[in-house]
Amino acid sequence: MRALKLWLDRSLAAQAVLIFVLGVGVNALFRRDGHLGWWVIQTAVFTAVAIGIVAAQRRRTGRAAGVDPRGIAELNRQIRHREMPSDPEKRATMQKLVAEQLGRMERGGRWLPYWLAFMGLIAAGMLVLGVVTGSLTVPLIFVVGVVVFCSWVFWMRRRALEHHRHMRSALQDHG
């Protein structure tokens, strides 16, 4: 399992395969009446867009920290595990990376209440549509999914902020 996590962390191709397989599965689950070819084409387009966004973010982060994408994956792994690099050059690179990512997370946090309100409006709209049409099963499943997803986002954000703040203070104390 650890090897799979490392492979997914370092490889855009592995992430693309995972997104594609999950996308085809979701299309098959929700669009049973559609043709398989359309599922594959649609999922391939969505996968290409998602991987393009991830690659652009990695490139931007790499330029800000002064390291290649593989180095970013390794430094992010060290941040998650709270490992301090022994090499002073790697510590300086990690300090840049932590500052850039922490700044991005804190700036993104300003939009989080608006994003969550938007998700709540969509969930409430689905419930209203369910009440009006008399079918509450799908809207309730959707609302539960939205609540679980938003809770997961909060948990992951809080955890990432803790890891980055810890690493920032550890790097400042060490250097």
Calculate mean pLDDT across residues 13-37.
84
| Gap between the terminal Cα atoms of the chain | 35
How do residues 112-132 score in pLDDT, each as one tens digit? 889 989 999 999 999 999 889
Question: Structure pTM?
Answer: 0.75
The string over 89-128, giving b where at least 16 C-beta atoms fall within 10 Å of a residue's C-beta and e elsewhere, is ebbebbbbbbebbbeeeeeeeeeeeeeeeeeeeebeebee
Nearest to 94 by CA among 106, 83, 107, 108: 83
Phi, psi of 6, rounded to the nearest 5 degrees: -65, -40
Contact 62, 69 (CB under 8 A): yes
